[in-house]
Every structure is written in C-alpha cells, then in structure tokens.
Structure 1
Amino acid sequence: MAVWIQAQQLQGDALHQMQSLYGQHFPIEVRHYLAQWIEGQLWDSVELENPQDELKAKRLLDGLVQELQRKAEHQVGEDGFLLKIKLGHYASQLKSTYDRCPLELVRCIKHILHTEQRLVQEATNAIGGGGGGGTMDSLSQRHQQINQTFEELRVATQETENELRKLQHNQEYFIIQYQENLRIQAQLSSLSAVPAEERAQRETSLQAKRATVEAWLTREANTLQKYRLDLAEKHQKTLGQLRKQQTLILDEELIQWKRRQQLAGNGGPTEGGLDVLQSWCEKLADLIWQNRQQIRRAEHLTQQLPLPGPMEELLTKLNSDITDIISALVTSTFIIEKQPPQVLKTQTKFAATVRLLVGGKLNVHMNPPQVKAVIVSEQQAKALLKNESTRNDSSGEILNNNCVMEYHRTTGTLSAHFRNMSLKRIKRSDRRGAESVTEEKFTVMFESQFSVGGNELVFHVKTLSLPVVVIVHGSQDNNATATVLWDNAFAEPGRVPFIVPDKVLWPQLCEALDMKYKAEMHSARGLSDDNLVFLAQKAFSSGSINPDDYRNMTMSWAQFNRESLPGRNFTFWQWFDGVMELMKKHLKPHWNDGAIMGFVNKQQAQDMLMSKPNGTFLLRFSDSEIGGITIAWVAENPNKAGERLVWNLMPYTTKDFSIRSLADRISDLNHLMFLYPDRPKDEVFSKYYTPPLSKAVDGYVKPQIKQVVPEFTTPNPEPSSGNPTYMDQAPSPSVAHPNNFAIFPPISDPMMDADGEFDLEDTMDVARHVEELLRRPMANQWDGQQS
C-alpha cells in the first residue's frame, strides 16, 4: 500500500501519467480500495509468456474478484450502498473481461505497479535534488535531464504549432486581400464602358484603393516570408534538439539496456527499465510526428502561396531531416525483449519475444505486422550490418518462425511472442584452426515490415539476437556455455559480429565468474578474494605468485577453455563449471550457509586442520575430478601413537548425492565432529538431515542406506558373532559408498593416494571397485543370517 499512498501525492505531468494507467480495463477505484491486497501479491512470479503460468494468473484473478466482493459486502450506510453496488459491478466486469485471458490481467497490473514505482521514484529524486540536502546519483540526474528536455521540446513544439496557426491565419487574410486587389483591378478594367465624367471619379477612387491594398500586400508578403523563415528556423532548432535527445536515448540508454540484457545472460541483474525506455521513445515519436505534420502543413502553405525566397528549399531539407529522424527511431526501437537461449539445442523447443517500442504511439497495430525469425551465421550477420546482400540465405531451418505482432491495450505494448520455435537443422561453416563446433556463433534474426501514417512511410526492420551456439547433444553444453560467457562478458558495444578479445585481464574474468557463480547459487554470497586467488593459482598453474600480481596478468581464451590444465584432461572452465553444476544441483543451501569452503587445495586444507582439534573437518572441491567434493579431517594416526594426520575421503559427485545427501553422509560419520573452524556439525547440518524412517508398514521394514568409513567406525558395544566390527589400521581411509548395510572388515584401497585423494589414472574401474567393497560384507552378513 506504500506505493499507492505515495502515488496519490504525485503532481503535474506525473499525476497525469499515473491517472492514464487506469480505465475500463482496470478501474482506479479497484486500485484504491484493494491497494494493500494488490501490493501484497507476487505478480512478478508469473511469467507472462509461459502458458503453464496461466493457472497462477487465474488464481490471482479469482483472488482479486473475491477481495472486491468481500469489500463490497462490508459497505454500510447511505454512501456505502453506492460503493457496494460499484465494487460489485467492478468484480463482475473484471471477471468477464479476464476470465478467458487471466495473464492479461497480470500483465496489466504489473505494468501499473512498475510505472507507479518509477513515477514515485522520479518524484522523490526530484525533491531530493531540489532541496540541496541530498545528492542524486548519476542515473537519476540523467533521467531528470531527459525528462526536462522533453518538457522543453513539448513547449517548443507547442510554440511552432501556435506560430503555424498564426501564419496560416495571416496567409488566409493575405489571400483575401489579394483577391480584393484582383477585384479592384477588374473594376478598373471595366470602367471603359462607363461615361467619362463618372469614369474619372470612380477611377481615381479605385486607383487610390488599389494603391493602398497593393502597399499592404507588399508589406504583408514580406511579413509572411519572415514568418515562414522564422518558423523554419524554429523547426530546425527543434529538430536539432530532437536529434540530440534521440541520440541520448537510443545510443546511450537503449544500448546500456541491451548491455544489461547481455550481462543478464551471465547471471547479471535482470535487465529493467524497458517500460521507461518505451515511454521515452513514445514521447519522441509523438513529438517527431507532430513536428513532421507541422512541416508538411508549412509546405502546403508555401505551395498554396508561392513567394520569392529560399523557403521551398528549406522545407524540403527539413522534411528530409525529420524523415531520417523518425526512420532511425522506428528501426532502432524494434528490439528483442526476451532473447532466445544462447546455447541452442537442435530439435528442442525455445521461445523469444520481439517488441516495437513506438508501435502503439504510431498506430502500427492498426495493420498488425508479421515477424519472421531466421538463423544466420557470423559471416552473414557481418554482411547484414554492412547492408550487403545475403540473398536471404539462412544457416538453418527454424520451425514455427512466423508470428503476428499483438497490441496489448492495457500496457500499450506491441510485441510478437514466439512460443514454440524449434531449430530443425543447422548448416555449419568451415572452422578456423583449433576452433571447435562449440566456438562457432550464430544469431537469430527477426525481420518485419510495417507502415506508418496510413502507408505514408514504410519500414523494413531487422534486429539480431545475442550470439547463440548451436549444439546437438547435452555433452556439448559445457563448452558452449564457455563461449557464451566469454562473449557476454567481453563484447564491446557496436562491435563487428561477433568479435571479442582473445585475452582479458584476470580481474575482468574474475568479475564474470563471480557473476555467473552468484546466479547459479541464487545467492549474494559469491567468490571471495581468497577463492579468486585459489582460482588464479589453478588457472595459471602457479601457487608461488604474489596474489597482487594476478591483477596485472591476462588470461587467453585458449587458457580458459581450449587447453587442458597441467596433468589433467580437462580445462579450467570445465573444472569450474563442474563445481557450479554440483553446487547448483545438490549443495546450494550449504554454500549459502557458509558450510562449504570449497576453493582450498590439499596442502592448504592440511595446514588449516592441523591446528584444530581431532574431528575437525572441512569441505573442499576435488582437484582431480570434475564436479567432485571431498571431506578432509584431522584425526590420530592409528599406526603411530601421538601422531595426527589429515585424511581425505574419495570425492563425491552428483551421482553420489543423488543416492544420499551430503548432510546425511556427514551425520553418518561419527568421527566428524566440528566444521572448520569450530562449529559443531549438528548445529550446521541437522536441519538438512533426513527424518528417521517410519515404522514397518504391512509387515515390511524399509531398509536404510548408511555411509561407513571402516577405519573410523566406532566399535559396537555388543557386537554379534556373525557381524564383527573393526577399527582399521591402514594408512589411508577408504569410503564405503552407498548401499552399505553392514560394518565390514578393513579393505585396503588402491584408489586412494597417500593423502586420500582420488587418483583416476592409477585405479581399476570405479564400478568394479565399489562392487568389491560391497560384495564381501554383504556376503558375510547374509551368510551369518542364514546360518
């Protein structure tokens, strides 16, 4: 309700804009009486282009109608009676209007709320800046400057309109006097038939009258010419101001919005402000069109009454200039509101939305245009931007690639929603050098044609999507994502498609990785300075460089995702992406809780744990395996009294956590007591433990999976003779992976190195190893039971 309270304090143009949001589609009384309820709903959780969200929208519509009916029922008294009838009528009206299209109601209310918030924010900033006590940020100052310029342009356009009307009135009077002069001339010519005495008297009178009229006409002709030149000069000045304002909005504000949209592909803040941009573009379109009509009317007046001078040439130039301005506005505001996925898999459904920001203002929707989508290669995109013919070639076939633009009256937007496109096939070009298919970039081009002013102006428009990488199998997703991330992070505005630097400074790459990591974790907790130092040491394969030195180092694309890390069969990006995938699927809550240290190498973990009590552990990402995480802990060396060692479990992967969660695995291991530095493990993980199994149902007992590390298993106080337990004395612990139902004798583990790290190159087949671990204790257990 806070927004509505503030919205009611708006004044002037802001108040007018706020009032114009409401009408029969959504009465302002509904907003007023249900303000608290409306502002309390999660409208933004509904995705307007997702048909599956229609059920959510229907629930919101039903809730709105119920609230209106409830509000109506509680009205009492004489005044309440009228309000009761009115609110009941609105409930029925909204129900009938949106029952078949509830998403349109959500679209309408989202537009209203976002616009109100913007107007309130702008008014608050203006007050803060005017008082001198607060300093507005640069964004608010720029927006205020734009709005102030629009007010100046509005005043200037109104002035030229008044001047044009005055010119038209004076010209019409001039024509009347000119006709009068012609009439006098005709009368003088007809005097030959009049008697001489009478002719002389009348001729003298008519000649005096003609002289007076002709003198006035001469003076007025000069005045009209001056009026015309002054008006043309004012139009020229207004056009210059319009061009400057349009450059600011299209070449700065719109480009910045597109840049934010591109960074959103890497996990940056969701791009906002498109409604603000549309309001500015619509104001531009309105002012440009008004001035264009004025110039055309001035041309008509000039043709109606030709006068000597450069006026005709001036007006032709003005008409050409303003046509160029409106052409640039229309072609630049045909934008992609919702980008297609940048990693595009063939034979998979995808969606996109294009929007014309000036469509409603220029009445383009009166003849709804059709938009077509085609996929083109990088080379074809370059040719398009150079206006070189590509013979309408495409690099593939997109199904369901035609869509008609729809006008949404509630929001004033003209857009085309492609909901069910699918890339049927792709035609690849010859690759360069070491370039792989996941480094090849394409773009989806949207094109349309529409007319303005009753076919007075016809525009053929095209717009290109962000670069897309086409894959045919999910295994290519990792490398394709690397190409997209690099392009989104380091593309320069106005570049030739799709050139990106081959090398970037390490801090720049850190910023991109941090943005991506935060987005995947849905958390404000990103990568710390220590994490970034760890990543630098891994990326540059050096742990001896001073952390400050990394700031001046550069990383190439080849180092990022073309060349494998030393001693590994994967790249830096593949390792980092594996970490994100594991965290996103299984460990996100633990990262957000601060329970996972993660970016720590084996030696660092050992140094940290050796200063802590036995049973202290930490979680770190595996160096040797993609998407692996291991537990390192400190404990006594069972082979040497008084000596302590740091132990490392074989890394867990996504497959492991799909069987038993990390929290439950930690709960199973009683020798793990404190999460580094000194937090009791139950305090950190207990809220994620799986609840105990329920009692037997229908005579069956459900088995339970437990994780066991034999070397650190606490002996059973009353061991049965059939199932003895042991404390292993081996130099390195092995972890018994899922489906261990019994505690079993020690088994030496050739899969672990001296520090307990998993070594892929020196191991037997993983499945066979697990099978061996499981088979022997299971056989012993069943033999004991059967005997």
Structure 2
Amino acid sequence: MAQWKHMSQMLQCLPSDTVNNLYPSNSFPIEVRHFLAEWIERQIWDNFVLEKVEQESQAQALLDQTISMLQLIAQQNTNVLDQMKLMHISRNMAMFHQQPLQFAVMVRDILAKERVLLDTPIQMHSSPQFQQYPNRESSFNNMQDVDHLVLKVLEVQDIRQAMHELQEELNWERQNYEGLQGPIQQNGLDPTQSEIQKLQNHIQQLEYNVKAMATKRFQLLNGCVDCLDQCQTRLISKLKEWRWDQYKATIGQPFDDNLNLLQTWCEQLLGVNGKLRQELVLIGEPIPELKESLGTLLQVLIQSSLVVDKQPPQVIKTQSKFSTTVQYLLGEKVAPGKPVVLKAQIINELQARNQISVPGDNVAELINNTAILEHNTPSKSTCATFRNMSIKKIKRADRKGSESVTEEKFALLFSTEITITGCDTPYRIQMISLPVVVIVHGSQDKNALATIIWDCAFSKPDRVPFMVPERVPWKMMYNTLNSKFTDEVRTKHDLDQYNQHFLAQKIFNKPDFADDFSNILVSWAQFNKEVLLGRPFTFWQWFEGVMELTKKHLSTYWSEGLIFGFIGKQHLHLILKERPNGTFLLRFSDSEIGGITIAYVSACENGGQKIQNIQPFTKRDLEIRSLGDRIRDINHITYLYPEFPKHEVFKKFYTEPQASPGGGYIPVSLLTKVGTDDNSDTSPAPTPLAESPQSAVGFSVSDDMDLDIETILETLHQED
C-alpha cells in the first residue's frame, strides 16, 4: 500500500500517455491497482517468468483471487457506476484464464515500472532528460520483448498441437471415405450422393486447413528465430555495456554490478532456443537455414554468458596473492555430472588481440590458476572463485623506444569446456579480464596505475586490445581527474573551475595562459612520462600524491569546502592581496608530492603586506598532528578566506587536551610553530645525509621493501 500511496500522488504530475501505458485499460486498468493496492503489494510477483510453466498454478491462484476480490468489492460498493465498472473489469480479466502466467508477469512489470518512476525526480518524466535513465527503463522493455517472444513460441506450439488434432481427424475421415468406396463400387451407387460429397468436401477442407496451418507455423517459426536473434543481439549489447560500466568504475564512474536481470535474460533465451529447435525436429522435414541459425545463436549465447564478476587487481605485483571471480550466467543449465573446471592464464597484448590461448606459449607462471564452477542456491549464481592466485614470474615483450615495464598491459584469460543440458556437444568458452599491469616492486605502483587510468579513461568500447590514443583533449583529461578524485576521496565536492585551470597550466607548463584549455591536446608523455618543469616527478605522480593525502587525512575538510585546493601563485596573490592580515587559505603544494600548505597575509616591516606560504604538511606530519590542531596552533592565521573566523570553522576538528597522566609525571604536548624572518639567519645549517650504498645504482631500499635478486634485476632493467 505504501508504494501505491506515493504512486497515486505522482500520477497527477505524469503525462496521460505515461499513465495509460502503465495501466492498460484492456488488461489491467488503474481501478484494479487502486482498489486492490494493499493486497497486490503483499504478494510476491518478482519471481514470475513466462517460460516457467511450473509457476502456472501459482499464477492461476493469484488471478482467481484478483477476480474474486474485484467482484466482492463491486458488490459492497454503493456507487452504481463503480459497481458496473468493477464487474466489467472482472469479466474482462477472465481472458487470462488460458494464460495466467501472462497476467502475473504483467503485474510484475507494472510494479517494477512504478518503482522506477518513484526513484526518478518528478520533473524528469515529462522532459527529454528522462533519457539519462536508459538502462533502467530499457531493461524492462527488453524483458517484455523476451516475454512476447515466449508467447510467440507458445503460439507455435499451439498451432502444432492443433495441426496434430486436425491431422488425426483427417486420417479418420480418409479412413471412413475409403471404407465407403467398396460398397459404392459393388452396388453401383452414385458417388455424388450428398453424404459422400459432404465427406469429400470435409476432407478437402481439412487438407486445406492443415496446409494453411503448416504455412503459418513455418512463418511463425521464421519470425520467432528473427525475434530471438534481435533479443539476443540486445542481450549481448547489454553484457558489453555491463563490462564497459565495470571498467569505467576504475575512474570513479557509477556502476551497478547486479547480474540477476542479465542472468534471467540469458536463461530465457536459452529456453526459447531449445523449444524452437524442438519444434524444428517435430516438423519432420529438414529446414537447414533455421537449424543453422538456431545453432549459431545457441553457440554465441553459451560463449557470451561467461562474465568476470569480480575483476583481478589491475596492478598486480609478482609473488603477491590476489583473487578474482568468474560467473556463468547459464550455470543452472550446466549438465550434471563431471565438474566444470576453469583455467586462468596470463596473456599479452598480441594474444588478447588474436583472442586465442596458446598453451605452449605462456607469458607468465601463474600459481593456483584453476577453480571449479560451483552453484550457490541462495543467490542462484554459479561462480568459480580463484582465491590465492599469484604470478611467480612474467615474460615481457621487447620494449619500444623509451617504453617502460609499467606501460606493458596484460590480461587474464579464463577458459573451460562446458556442456549445457539439452545440447549434444560440449562448448569451448573463454573470457578475458580487464587490462592489468604486472609489477615487481611497490615503487612501480603509481606508474602502473597511470597506465590503467589512461587506458580506462580514453579507450573505446569495441577497440582492438589494448589500443588507446596517445593524445586526448584536456576536457576529457580533466573529467577523468575529477571523477577519480571524488571517487577516491569519497566526496560529492568536485574540483572547481579554478582547480581545473591551474591543473591545465601545470600539465601544459603555461602558468601565464588565461584562455580556455578545453580542446588543447594532452599527451600520455605529459601525463606520466615527462617530469614537470623544475620537478623530479610527473604530473600524475604529483596529482596522485595529493589525492592520497586528501583521501587519508583531509576528506572532511575538502567535502565541506574548507580547502581551496589547486591554485597557482599568481591567482593566490590576486585574491589575497587586499584581504586583512591573518587571512589564509589551504592549497595543495605545487613543489612537493602529497603536501598541503597554508598561504596567508602578513604585515611587512614597512607597513605593507606580503603573502607567506608555510612549509607543506605531508602525510607523516598529519599522522603526528591533525590539520585542524595545526591551524589552531598558528596564531598568525585568523580568518579562512574570504572572511570566516578560523575558530568557528575549524572548531570541530580540534582535539581536546588529554588528561594529566598519573604517576606524578608532568604532561607534554606537541604544538606547531611557524618560523619568522627574524631567526632565519640563525637557523643551523642542515646536516647532509650520508650517501646510501645503493645510490650508485639509482635506487634506495626502505624498511618496508622486501626485494629478491629477480626484483632488483628487473628494477635495474626498467631504469636502464
């Protein structure tokens, strides 16, 4: 009743065409939904599928209850017009007695469409912008198409049954006619007598009817195969769309990973294919073109139903465990007996393009690379889970020019042989994962992730693996950065136009450029191959460091708009130059990876003003003392730009003083102190660091690194 309560309020805002399409007057008028609302919503309709004939009795019971309740409400209603209307509706609904499942599926779809409408802002329904919800609406339309196809198959079966009965009657009448031929010839009777003539005419009519029904049956079969082809083409398209959305989730785009609807769709199409192949056999004469079409459709469906449900990590470190899950959407139709074992192997770009598995040409040694396809009854899913896979070693291709190991893409290929109930032969099926980059050391992680981000953001859906453009417009790059940033930080607060402009200035090294960067092309080299001017790091390494810092320590500050973020020094001076002393803003460091700094207005000795930038706080600094407490410590800053008192804005981020420790100890605390120009000359000179023994070979070893000889050699090879 709760759903109808909200739906009835929405109806007055919907176009009349939408309402009429939702509640068709000839089958399920709106009065049925209104008078039986509470009862309808208490029943379970979602499980009904036209193909499942075992549900007919349940559907018939619901139909009978619906008609009975309408008649009862009509009798109790004091309004004569309502009485007549409800009785008329109840009589019309009796048409579903021959096909009660069609009634149950119709109610299922109506309730589902109501939920879609209720989840959609009202103003969207009457505008073209409603198209931004195509997947949800088209899913119901596609399922309805399959339901209509099932009805067509039922019609073919009905015609076949009717033909069988007609043929039996024709055989009987022919036998009767032959039985009369003897006496007519022996007694010299006139064969044109009325009874004999009637029998001849009846036989001719039966023969004509059988032939006409055979023609109609063939036409319907042709139509069903064409319709099945169309439905399956849409299904394959939806599966590709699901995989594409899964890939785009890498850069933070929304993704609904539910496969239930697609699984139901696969199962229905498999059932329809089986029934049509059965009808072809029952015709008794070969129709090779239809048989071939159905065989091809069956093979494509069986092979397309393998889905990588949970992708492996897209950056995989050798000698490290990882997991992945493969789901088979036709799992309930797998023939019982021998278990289905899936095998996983690593393939390179060339093998991915050829879509082949070469057993004797493995590019990697993969540990724990087999898993059994198992059915989960509660979830109705059939999956193979690889829990402890590991790449022992990898064989790389010859690199071109300055290409590094973190730019080489691989994929996991999953394959098996499967037998479907009702099919004579086993089928070889396979599916590849999203692209992965294999690394041997944690220091390669950021560069490998850059390869994946670029590939995900700028590749085309039907590309040749793993082709991706070398240059893209800045507006595409910015949208990717913004999507990835908001997803990682888990915020709805986007990067603004000032952030966007500064990021463009930085990646193009044009600090004085004030025009629009949108259509200027940015290259892969500018993104993560060439270091920024005057810096020892690339654009992506710098941006990723900011993103990581914000994600771990500054998420709430950012979400509440307290961090200005990415801003150039020219813009910084422009907006702060006329502000009172002590006005400050928070910006990400331009010169250090993963740092945030405080820029503030301070007084000069001559009475003027200057902009000061406090040494950036890094992840390690903020682990020791939070940003809020550091802001409280610094007396030089008083107002957050443009004019918010800092103690009002940041108060909730302040840490309460700890209670005095016991045992007679004197309490201690940490405070942030900002140096001044007065003591700069007296500051001790920095002590030089001892040279690392590893500096001669270009890398250093930190406490958390665990290197073996192979790893060191590959790291050296990469740097060479």
- TM-score (ref. length: structure 1): 0.69
Counterpart among 359, 378, 398 of residue 331 in structure 2: 359
Distance in 1 of aligned mates of 2:278 and 2:42? 27
Retained in 2: the 8 A contact 1:14–1:119?
A: no
Q: Deviations over 1:290-345 (max 9, x none)?
A: 2222222223xx4xxxxxxxxx3xx2221221121122122112111111111111
Instruction: State the AA in 2 paired with 1:154.
Output: V
2:310 maps to what in 1? 338
Report the alpha carbon displacement of residue 540 of structure 1 after superposing the two structures with TM.
0.5
Q: Deviations over 1:34-84 (max 9, x none)?
A: xxxxxxxxxxxxxxxxxxxxxxxxxxxxxxxxxxxxxxxxxxxxxxxxxxx
1:547-562 alignment, distance < 5 Å: 547-548=515-516, 550-562=517-529
Counterpart among 652, 656, 676 of residue 691 in structure 1: 656
Retained in 1: the 8 A contact 2:170–2:203?
A: yes
Q: SS of the residue aligned with 1:697?
A: coil
> CA separation of 1:628/1:359 partners in 2, compared to 1, >3 Å: closer, same or farther?
same
Retained in 1: the 8 A contact 2:270–2:301?
A: yes
Q: SS of the residue aligned with 2:650?
A: helix
Residue segments in structure 1 that go unaligned for 5+ positions in a row: 22-27, 29-115, 189-197, 303-311, 712-727, 734-745, 752-762, 769-787
Q: SS of the residue aligned with 1:626?
A: coil
Report the alpha carbon displacement of residue 200 of structure 1 after superposing the two structures with TM.
7.2
Distance in 2 of aligned mates of 1:540 and 1:214? 93
Distance in 1 of aligned mates of 2:467 and 2:126? 43
2:621 maps to what in 1? 656
1:106 maps to what in 2? none
1:541 aligns with 2:509: yes
Q: SS of the residue aligned with 2:617?
A: coil
1:143 aligns with 2:139: yes
> CA separation of 1:179/1:449 partners in 2, compared to 1, >3 Å: closer, same or farther?
farther
Counterpart among 611, 622, 627 of residue 646 in structure 1: 611
Retained in 1: the 8 A contact 2:274–2:422?
A: no
Distance in 2 of aligned mates of 1:237 and 1:332? 23
Counterpart among 251, 255, 271 of residue 266 in structure 1: 251
Instruction: State the AA in 1 paired with 2:216.
Output: D
1:481 aligns with 2:449: yes
1:239 aligns with 2:239: no
The structure with the largest alpha-carbon Rg is 1
Retained in 2: the 8 A contact 1:264–1:271?
A: no
1:378 aligns with 2:345: no
Residue segments in structure 2 that go unaligned for 5+ positions in a row: 8-35, 50-57, 59-106, 693-720
Q: Deviations over 1:397-419 (max 9, x none)?
A: 22222222222223322222222
Q: SS of the residue aligned with 1:647?
A: strand
1:329 maps to what in 2? 301
Distance in 1 of aligned mates of 2:167 and 2:464? 53
1:736 maps to what in 2? none
Counterpart among 561, 582, 586 of residue 619 in structure 1: 586
Distance in 2 of aligned mates of 1:439 and 1:202? 100
Distance in 2 of aligned mates of 1:482 and 1:119? 46
Retained in 1: the 8 A contact 2:583–2:642?
A: yes
1:411 maps to what in 2? 379
Report the alpha carbon displacement of residue 484 of structure 1 after superposing the two structures with TM.
0.5
2:239 maps to what in 1? 254
Report the alpha carbon displacement of residue 504 of structure 1 after superposing the two structures with TM.
0.6
Retained in 2: the 8 A contact 1:184–1:206?
A: no
Distance in 1 of aligned mates of 2:108 and 2:5? 11
Retained in 2: the 8 A contact 1:673–1:680?
A: yes
Deviates more, 1:464-473 or 1:116-125: 116-125
Counterpart among 668, 689, 713 of residue 703 in structure 1: 668
2:113 maps to what in 1? 122
Deviates more, 1:439-448 or 1:344-353: 344-353
> CA separation of 1:514/1:389 partners in 2, compared to 1, >3 Å: closer, same or farther?
closer
Distance in 2 of aligned mates of 1:562 and 1:583? 24
Distance in 2 of aligned mates of 1:118 and 1:406? 31
2:150 maps to what in 1? 154
RMSD of equivalent CA atoms: 3.8
- TM-score (ref. length: structure 2): 0.75
1:18 aligns with 2:46: yes
Instruction: State the AA in 2 paired with 1:373.
Output: A
1:675 aligns with 2:640: yes
Q: SS of the residue aligned with 2:500?
A: helix
Report the alpha carbon displacement of residue 125 of structure 1 after superposing the two structures with TM.
5.0
Distance in 2 of aligned mates of 1:526 and 1:591? 9
> CA separation of 1:605/1:544 partners in 2, compared to 1, >3 Å: closer, same or farther?
closer
Report the alpha carbon displacement of residue 671 of structure 1 after superposing the two structures with TM.
1.7
1:507-518 alignment, distance < 5 Å: 507-518=475-486
Retained in 1: the 8 A contact 2:509–2:533?
A: yes
2:573 maps to what in 1? 606
Instruction: State the AA in 2 paired with 1:356.
Output: Y
Distance in 1 of aligned mates of 2:6 and 2:233? 33
> CA separation of 1:404/1:572 partners in 2, compared to 1, >3 Å: closer, same or farther?
same
Retained in 2: the 8 A contact 1:3–1:117?
A: no
Retained in 2: the 8 A contact 1:126–1:144?
A: no
Distance in 2 of aligned mates of 1:656 and 1:766? 23
Q: SS of the residue aligned with 1:629?
A: strand
1:450 maps to what in 2? 418
Distance in 1 of aligned mates of 2:170 and 2:432? 54
> CA separation of 1:403/1:147 partners in 2, compared to 1, >3 Å: closer, same or farther?
same
Retained in 2: the 8 A contact 1:265–1:488?
A: yes
Distance in 2 of aligned mates of 1:404 and 1:2? 44
1:312-323 alignment, distance < 5 Å: 312=286, 315-323=287-295
> CA separation of 1:607/1:657 partners in 2, compared to 1, >3 Å: closer, same or farther?
same
Instruction: State the AA in 2 paired with 1:377.
Output: N
Counterpart among 163, 167, 173 of residue 171 in structure 1: 167
1:421-436 alignment, distance < 5 Å: 421-436=389-404
> CA separation of 1:421/1:472 partners in 2, compared to 1, >3 Å: closer, same or farther?
same
> CA separation of 1:286/1:248 partners in 2, compared to 1, >3 Å: closer, same or farther?
same
1:625-774 alignment, distance < 5 Å: 625-637=592-604, 640-711=605-676, 729-730=678-679, 747-748=682-683, 765=689
1:14-53 alignment, distance < 5 Å: 17-18=45-46
Q: SS of the residue aligned with 1:545?
A: coil
Report the alpha carbon displacement of residue 747 of structure 1 after superposing the two structures with TM.
3.3
Retained in 1: the 8 A contact 2:334–2:419?
A: no
Report the alpha carbon displacement of residue 358 of structure 1 after superposing the two structures with TM.
2.8
Distance in 1 of aligned mates of 2:42 and 2:293? 31
Distance in 1 of aligned mates of 2:41 and 2:358? 48
Q: SS of the residue aligned with 1:286?
A: helix
2:100 maps to what in 1? none
2:558 maps to what in 1? 591
Distance in 2 of aligned mates of 1:504 and 1:596? 29
Retained in 1: the 8 A contact 2:184–2:191?
A: no
Instruction: State the AA in 2 paired with 1:257.
Output: W
2:274 maps to what in 1? 289
Deviates more, 1:369-378 or 1:209-218: 209-218
Distance in 2 of aligned mates of 1:692 and 1:117? 60
Distance in 1 of aligned mates of 2:666 and 2:196? 121
Report the alpha carbon displacement of residue 644 of structure 1 after superposing the two structures with TM.
2.0
> CA separation of 1:571/1:11 partners in 2, compared to 1, >3 Å: closer, same or farther?
farther
Q: Deviations over 1:81-112 (max 9, x none)?
A: xxxxxxxxxxxxxxxxxxxxxxxxxxxxxxxx
Instruction: State the AA in 2 paired with 1:325.
Output: L
Report the alpha carbon displacement of residue 257 of structure 1 after superposing the two structures with TM.
1.5
Q: Deviations over 1:718-756 (max 9, x none)?
A: xxxxxxxxxx525xx6xxxxxxxxxxxx734778xxxxx
Instruction: State the AA in 1 paired with 2:313.
Output: P
Report the alpha carbon displacement of residue 379 of structure 1 after superposing the two structures with TM.
0.9
Q: Percent identity?
A: 36
